[in-house]
Amino acid sequence: MSNVQAIHAGWIIPVEPGDHVLENHTLVIDGAQIEALVPSADWRNPGNAIEIDCRRHALIPGLVNTHTHAAMALFRGMADDLPLMEWLEQHIWPAEARVGSREFVRDGTRLAAAEMLLGGTTCFNDMYFFPDEAAAAAIEAGIRCVMGMIVIGFPTAWASDVDEYFRKGQAVHDQYRGHPLVTTAFAPHAPYTVDDAALKRVATLAEELDVPVHMHVHETAFEVDSALAATGVRPLHRLHQLGLLSPRLLAVHMTTIHDEDYELVARTGVNVVHCPESNLKLASGFCPVARLAGLGINLALGTDGAASNNDLDMLGELRTASLLAKGVAGDPCALPAAAALAMATLGGARALALDHLVGSLVPGKLADVVAIDLSALGTQPVYDALSQVVYAAQRSQVSDVWVGGRRVVADGTLTTLDSDELRQSAAAWRDRIRP
């Protein structure tokens, strides 16, 4: 079979440059990479290319979900409408203690990967236990992933103490070193669950291994106020003292930011990962996206886990992000469509140090590509394809997805996983988890 694919599209939205839309163009994939973007009228089949008709579609880069707890898809809807700490301490953590296992992580990650692929997500950044199992599930699904080497200050099914978290995490890093779909990041859970010694160790090892650091930071006002009461220092400033504020850090949530924090984040090059729907559902607060963007801070987008969202729908997330940013800033021009799409693609790739490989449709990058059918009545008529994708398109309109040139969704159907099998597995886990 030929390794050359020619996707004839109504619109191509490359993200680089930011608001550029190519009409009636063909995206050519050779093996795993994008070879060219050319006007369809000028393209000639060399004789060995597979031609794919997407003339009703917009092509966008694969969406990058920059904050997930993938296996928690099996907790979807289990404990809704609760404050964050009550949700964690009285429901989620006890459930994890009861059923958390390799099997749980494998099956939960397969379910999450299927949902993400069908919605156009081609890469996810995960923070959960048994990252080796999660990586194996991602490879089976054919989705790109960044697996968190989790660190947390109490025993879990994955590790009994801090030393074991580090030892097992680095073993996962070594196991998947050089894999085409899997990279790693350190994933200390949060400032309030990881002590100074462990955080210093994370900072040192992240430099040595040249990997990102993925962490919940300033998720709620309660977190910040509690830290101030206990230590006299805001969590961000504590992390700065420990050497963790740098372009390596993905600071997730960041809903509680004071004036002195903005300059510190901008100066140190920290990436901010916005999870608007999870923050809204848990009433955690509002990340000041427009102000951060105005300071040149790299912004990425995540869904959080399906237990607190309750979906892994990045198209919905980027629309919510754009609308919420306008409301918070009191400015209808805040986070326009092009900027929202960039957060969900190139911004996430940049935060994960993968932007040289993915995040935009540029010749030479890996072919992580999503086709969205804009012929649905809900996206007609099309004046501006980019705006239609951000403000009107639904994930059900994702028809085809390629990861590294491999077509993992074809005509709305997974090519790597069995949907019926996943439904049966989810139902079986529900019966095991339900009190």
Across 282-286, average pLDDT: 93
pLDDT score of 1:
53
Q: How much is the average pLDDT of 80-98?
A: 89
Range 276-289 average pLDDT? 95
Torsion angle, CA of 29/31/33/34, rounded to 10 degrees? -10
Percent of the chain residues past pLDDT 70, beyond the cut: 99
Give the mean model confidence (pLDDT) for residues 403-427: 98
Contact 214, 250 (CB under 8 A): yes
- Is the peptide bond preceding residue 381 cis, with omega within 30 degrees of 0? yes
Question: What pLDDT, on the 0 to 100 scale, is given for residue 289?
Answer: 97
- Looking at residue 84, what is its pLDDT? 81
Q: What is the pLDDT of residue 87?
A: 87
DSSP secondary structure, 93-159, as one string: HHHHHHH-SHHHHHHHHHHHHHHHHHTTEEEEEE--S-HHHHHHHHHHHT-EEEEEEEE-SS--SS-
* Length of the chain counted residue by residue: 435
Instruction: List the domain boundaries for the chain.
Output: 4-60+369-403, 63-351
Give the per-residue pLDDT at 237: 96
Mean pLDDT across 158-163: 96
Q: Which helix (H) or strand (E) holds 23?
A: strand 22-30
Mean pLDDT of 35-56: 96
Same fold, 4-60+369-403 and 63-351: no
Burial of 97 (0-12, 13-18, 19+ CB in 10 A): exposed
Confidence of residue 279 (pLDDT cuts 50, 70, 90): very high
Spatial distance between the Cα atoms of 238 and 356, rounded to a whole number of angstroms: 31
Mean pLDDT value across the chain: 96
* Torsion sign over Cα 135, 138, 142, 146: negative
Task: Tell me the pLDDT band of 85, cut-offs 50, 70 and 90.
Answer: confident
What's the rounded Cα separation, in Å, for the pair 299 and 250? 9
Q: Pseudo-torsion of CA 48, 49, 53, 59, nearest 10°?
A: 180
Q: What is the mean pLDDT of residues 100-129?
A: 98
Residue 380 confidence (pLDDT) above 90? yes
Which of 188, 185, 239, 181 is CA-nearest to residue 207? 185
- The tokens of 361 are what? 């449709």
CATH number belonging to domain 4-60+369-403: 2.30.40.10
- DSSP per-residue codes, 3-20: SEEEEEEEEE--SSSTT-
Q: Is 195 exposed, middle or buried (0-12, 13-18, 19+ CB in 10 A)?
A: middle
Task: State residue 27's pLDDT score.
Answer: 98
Say yes or no to pLDDT of 23 above 60. Answer: yes
The CATH class that applies to domain 63-351 reads alpha beta
Task: For residue 286, name the pLDDT band (cuts at 50, 70, 90).
Answer: very high
Q: What pLDDT does residue 14 have?
A: 98
**Longest CA pairwise span in the chain (Å):** 70
pLDDT band at 423 (very low <50, low <70, confident <90, very high): very high
Q: Is the peptide bond before 363 cis (omega within 30 degrees of 0)?
A: no
Helices 162-175 and 131-141 cross at an angle (nearest 10°) of 30
Examine the pLDDT at 265 and tell me if it is beyond 70. yes
Residue 280 scores a pLDDT above 70: yes
Is the model's pLDDT at 370 over the cut of 70? yes
Task: Return the pLDDT at 262.
Answer: 96
- HEC profile for 169-189? HHHHHHHCCCCCCEEEEEEEC
pLDDT digits (tens, 9 = 90+) for 320-351: 999 999 999 999 999 999 999 999 999 999 99
Task: Give me the residue label for tokens 């504590």.
Answer: 238
Please write the tens of the pLDDT for every residue from 300-322: 999 999 999 999 999 999 999 99
| Per-residue model confidence (pLDDT) at position 76 | 96
